[in-house]
A and B are shown apart, each in its own frame.
Chain A
Amino acid sequence: MAAQALSGRAAIVHDLALEGYGFGGDHPFNPLRVRLTLELCEALGLLEDFPFVSPEPATDEELRTVHSLTYVRMVQKAGRNAAALSDLLQYGIGTSDNPVFPDMHEACARVVGGVLGACRLVTRGEMEHAMCISGGLHHALRSAASGFCVYNDAGVAIARLKEEYPGIRIAYVDTDAHHGDGVQWMFYSDPDVLTVSMHESGRYLFPGTGGVEERGRNDGLGYSVNVPLEPFTDDGSWISCFEAVVPEVLRAFDPDLILSQNGCDGHVLDPLTHLSATIRFYEHVPNRMHDLAHELCGGRWVATGGGGYDIWRVVPRAWAALWAAVSHQELPEKIPEDWLSKWGARSPVKLPATVRDDPEGYPQGPRATTIADRNERTVEELLGRVLPGTG
Chain B
Amino acid sequence: MLQVKDSMSREIVTLSPDETAATALAVCRERRIRYLPVLKGGRLVGIVSDRDLRSSTPALGDPSRTAALQEVLVQDVMAPEVVTVLSDDPIELAANTMRERRIGCLPVLEGDELVGILTASDVMDALVYLVGAHEPGSRMEIAVPDRPGSLAGAAGVFGMCGINIVSAAMGATREPGEEGAPRERIVVFRVDTIDTTEVVGYLEEAGYSVMWPPRP
Contact = CB atoms under 8 A, between A and B. Distances in A.
A203 B194 contact: no
Interface stretch (B89-97, B116-124, B131-139): B131-139
B195 A97 contact: yes
Nearest to A96: B162
A200 B80 CA distance: 50
A22 to B, nearest CB: 14
A139 interface: yes
Given A139-B194, A206-B194, A95 B162 contact: yes
Interface residues of A, number: 23
Given A96-B161, A96-B163, A208 B190 contact: yes
Given A207-B136, A208-B138, A178 B194 contact: yes
B192 A204 contact: no
A54 B193 CA distance: 33
B56 interface: no
A185 to B, nearest CB: 10
Interface string B81-101: 000000000000000000000
Interface in A264-294: 269-272, 274
A208 B195 CA distance: 13
Contacts of B198: 96
A134 interface: no
A27 to B, nearest CB: 8
A253 interface: no
A28 B133 contact: no
B213 A208 contact: no
Contacts of A139: 136, 194
Given A95-B162, A96-B162, A208 B139 contact: yes
Contacts of B212: 204
Interface string B43-54: 000000000000
Nearest to A94: B162
Would you call the interface of chain B mostly helix, strand, loop, or mixed? loop
A92 to B, nearest CB: 8
B194 A147 contact: yes
B190 A272 contact: no
A205 B138 contact: yes
A279 to B, nearest CB: 18
Contact of A271 (B136, B192, B197): B197
Contact of A272 (B137, B139, B197): B197
B42 interface: no
Contacts of B194: 97, 139, 146-148, 178, 206-207, 272
29 contacts: A28-B197, A95-B162, A95-B163, A95-B193, A96-B162, A96-B163, A97-B192, A97-B194, A139-B194, A146-B136, A146-B194, A147-B194, A148-B194, A178-B194, A181-B136, A204-B138, A204-B140, A204-B213, A206-B193, A206-B194, A208-B136, A208-B139, A208-B190, A270-B216, A271-B216, A272-B194, A272-B195, A274-B213, A274-B214
Shortest beta-carbon contacts, A-B, top 9: A207-B136, A147-B194, A96-B162, A206-B194, A206-B138, A204-B139, A271-B216, A97-B193, A146-B136
Given A97-B195, A208-B137, A208-B190, 15 more contacts: A95-B192, A96-B161, A96-B163, A204-B140, A205-B213, A206-B136, A206-B137, A206-B193, A206-B194, A207-B194, A208-B136, A270-B216, A271-B197, A272-B195, A272-B197
